[in-house]
Structure 1
Amino acid sequence: MARTDGQPGGDPDQDVDDTLSAPFRSYALERADAPRFHIRLVEKTQRLYPAHKHDYFQIVYFMTEAPTARVGLRSYKPQPGSVYFIAPMTPHQMRFSSASRSVVIYFDLDFLRPGITRSYPIQELVRIAPELTPFAWQGHIDFNLDEAQAARVEEACRVMILEHAEDRICTGEIIRAELTLMLGRICRAYEDRFDELSPVLPAIGRDSGHMRRISDFIAENYLRSPTLDQAAAYARLSRSRLCALLRQHTGTSFNALIREMRIDDARERLVLTDEPIGQIAYAVGYTDEKYFLRAFRKSVGMTPTAYRVKRLSDLAVPATTRRGLGARAPGLMPRSRS
């Protein structure tokens, strides 16, 4: 992910209304004539990616614990076996530490389904391509695989990594088959959960447009002290309706969500960088360091300095992972060509 396609976000000091025309950020090769597919093993990588979105489907599978991730308006703490399904144009933020290992897959819809030549909202698309169902339910289900499920996913990833490194007859067909089978097995594993949630959350389709605009606004502006009025204007909703949707879909308020996202950023910067506390406070949207210290302590239960010392001490102790997922997990590494 060394390059960025599309222009970076605008000046942090610009008026928030400029986000109406702000370009999206992506971390993939530009699309050429052929549909895109890419898979790679991510390890020994310590990096903070800004919140961004892109026009392809992405799957991130973790083999170890990892820093807090965010998809849409929800935050997650990846564990061994955690998998995240990121639909096109969904704001998200993935973080990697030097101790974490994961597999990142991205693909265009017409790579997986060559016969589908137009785009659909994800809730409609799953009726045509049911293997994409996890992408529609990511905000409502934690996809934490058990050992047997994780082993199957890792084997599928191993095959796709090997095939992607080659240029042989039927490489694309084999990758497509492995990807479809992997998604289908995950759908089967969570079928009961999908059925259970469907009648409970009928608004997933009706409110998806509203929630997408809310997510876009917050992802672009949470470091800029946005107001509820600005968010409501961007989402074309009343203040009360926006608050009700946030409460329904995230269980929290607008201001609490902004604060949570900033503190999440600060926690990872404390561990993944050596930036001073004041610089971190400013980087995550606080202009008053004392106010940041109070907010951090209230949220985390300790000062930023104490949190940094504790987490760095914890990371110095080798983490215990599931059986079969050692530090190298060589089964996922592509074999060198003879």
Structure 2
Amino acid sequence: MSRKIISFQIPKSSKEFVRFQVDAGKHFYDKLHQHPQWQLTLIVEGKGQLMVGDYLGRFEPGDMFLFSANMPHVFRSDAEYFDPNTDKQSLGHTLFFDFEALGKGMIEVEEFAGLNQWLQQTKGCFAIQGSTKKNIKKNLMDFSGLKGLKKILTALEILNVLQESQELTALNRLIPQKDFTESEGKRMGQVMSFILSQSQNQISLSEVADVANLSKEAFCRFFKERTGKTFTEFLTQVRIHQACQLLQESEWSISQIAYQSGFQNLSYFNRAFKKVQGETPKVFRGRLTQVTQH
């Protein structure tokens, strides 16, 4: 049985170990997908929500992420990037590593033993920070001009930096034990696209179950097994992330932001925000204002 999520093939030769790709446009590819290659992505321009496995969080310029093989993910650009009249742009630099292209003989070479062990132990999505990010960014920005052995050596240098780093922050709590089937991936992609695009509106369980073409009971099981969260928990988290962005970037009142993010009740918004963020919206905004002023 096919275990591929939504059809998504990296445009590369089957013999190519590393592929450099620039994603440039109004918004990033907005379908949930996975692929057998490892992925290292630097966000140069653009903001939005990153969903990978059971993790949901924000991405913005300067962020760098590493995904191990077959991690379902999507960089969902904010709504303003889908506005045909906007002049906002999204830009990402990505390396895809295809370890299968090296062949079993290569990976079993003694010098690759440490790397191979690291690959077996490193599963999920990671945010890359500090000097690790700085060092890799320099190599990444120059990568497009590399060919042949220089390309391979630079790729191995980047992997060596990652392998030795203590600055990789794991973002997933739940690592899937098996890949999505193609039908599961397509269904999950449709559900996520619907939730992320409609989160500011009232969404009922019946509506989202209909999108998945499942009964409410079957949908709840399907969603919890694949995200580690209930539909309500996930939707609340999406809305809180939207509220965080508005608290940072708008001058709207907290009640306006609550309503704009999909909350109909201000006291519930305050409670939910504190549960997810560990502080109230007022404290969150005040702390950011102090950081900006300093």
Q: What band does the TM-score fall into relative to the shorter chain?
A: 0.5 to 0.7
2:188 to 203, 211, 230: 211
Give 1:14's aligned residue.
Answer: none
1:143 to 126, 137, 143: 126
TM-score by length of 1: 0.49
Provide the secondary structure at the position in 1 that maps to 2:179: helix
Give 2:50's aligned residue.
Answer: 70
Quick one: structure 1 residues 229 and 265, their matched pair in 2 at CA, closer, same or farther if it must change by over 3 Å? same
On the 8 A contact 2:243/2:261 being kept in 1, the answer is yes
Give 1:90's aligned residue.
Answer: 74
Say whether 1:271 aligns with 2:248.
yes
On the 8 A contact 1:156/1:179 being kept in 2, the answer is no
Structure 1's unaligned 5+ residue stretches are 1-35, 41-48, 96-101, 114-124, 131-139, 164-170, 191-196, 318-338
On the 8 A contact 1:51/1:92 being kept in 2, the answer is yes
Distance 1:270 1:159 in 2: 36
1:154 to 137, 154, 160: 137
On the 8 A contact 2:199/2:238 being kept in 1, the answer is yes
Deviations 1:195-249 (A, max 9, x none): xx9xx73432334333223222222222222112211111122323322232223
Q: How far does residue 271 in structure 1 lie from its aligned partner after superposition?
A: 1.6
Q: 1:1-338 maps to which residues of 2 (within 5 A)?
A: 37-38=21-22, 53=30, 60-61=41-42, 69-72=49-52, 74-76=55-57, 82-84=64-66, 90=74, 92-93=76-77, 104-105=92-93, 141-145=124-128, 150=133, 153-160=136-143, 171=145, 177=151, 181=155, 185=159, 189=163, 201-206=176-181, 207-317=184-294
Distance 2:102 2:231 in 1: 34
Quick one: structure 1 residues 222 and 103, their matched pair in 2 at CA, closer, same or farther if it must change by over 3 Å? closer
Higher share in strand: 2
On the 8 A contact 1:156/1:182 being kept in 2, the answer is no
**1:38 maps to amino acid:** V
Distance 1:225 1:106 in 2: 36
Quick one: structure 1 residues 287 and 205, their matched pair in 2 at CA, closer, same or farther if it must change by over 3 Å? closer
- Pairs aligned (count): 224
Quick one: structure 1 residues 290 and 201, their matched pair in 2 at CA, closer, same or farther if it must change by over 3 Å? closer
- Farther-moved stretch of structure 1 (267-276 vs 206-215): 206-215
TM-score by length of 2: 0.55
RMSD: 5.1
Give 2:86's aligned residue.
Answer: none
Provide the secondary structure at the position in 2 that maps to 1:90: strand
Distance 1:54 1:314 in 2: 35
Distance 1:232 1:218 in 2: 11
Higher RCO (CA-CA < 8 Å; seq separation 6+): 2
Distance 1:246 1:55 in 2: 14
Quick one: structure 1 residues 103 and 216, their matched pair in 2 at CA, closer, same or farther if it must change by over 3 Å? closer
Distance 2:132 2:276 in 1: 34
